Structure 1
């Protein structure tokens, strides 16, 4: 969701984070992820204006702050 909100392709996020595109794809599809991978993704998205919101009755969410 956050990647799409920033119009980042899978390969774009892989390049930014230093992770393999396959790793990101696996995580996005519900696969198991290392904590370090999740932290790298969170740092990359946060630095581009994404705020991760705590879960509520509808689940977790994001807010994107425009540049």
Structure 2
């Protein structure tokens, strides 16, 4: 979780050893690996084209990002924000973990669980 009291900066900042980056007027983002961004897209069932449209960057930029090439803060920010807008939560890396992804609940699975709970 990002600390809301972190001041807004236009340059990269570090909080407790986790690299964060942001743009003026936006909440800081933690630096998420390309592998987590790609994994989140795939787990949501989005194509690169769909993510490109949602994030406002080109499909070729997403392809390069997902292969670990030409990583720019602008593209990474846009992709991360688009995935977070769909309910994805990224878990920061630590000394014991490479980080991770939490997906939003699947509405169909939630409804199914409610029906089973009533039975």
* TM-score normalised by structure 1 residue count: 0.89
Question: In structure 2, how many angstroms separate the alpha carbons of the residues matched to 1:44 and 1:29?
Answer: 18
Deviation at 1:53, TM superposition (A): 0.3
Larger RCO: 1 or 2 (CA < 8 Å, sep 6+): 1
- Structure 2, unaligned runs of 5 or more: 1-38, 108-119
Runs of 4+ in 1 over 6 A off after TM superposition: none
Confirm whether residue 24 of structure 1 aligns to residue 57 of structure 2.
no
Question: In structure 1, how many angstroms separate the alpha carbons of the residues matched to 2:48 and 2:79?
Answer: 11
Confirm whether residue 50 of structure 1 aligns to residue 88 of structure 2.
yes
- Structure 1, unaligned runs of 5 or more: none
* Between structures 1 and 2, the one with greater strand share: 1
Number of residue pairs matched? 67
SS of the residue corresponding to residue 2 of structure 1 reads helix
Whichever of the two has the greater Rg, that structure is 2
* Between structures 1 and 2, the one with greater helix share: 1
SS of the residue corresponding to residue 83 of structure 2 reads helix
Deviation at 1:58, TM superposition (A): 3.7
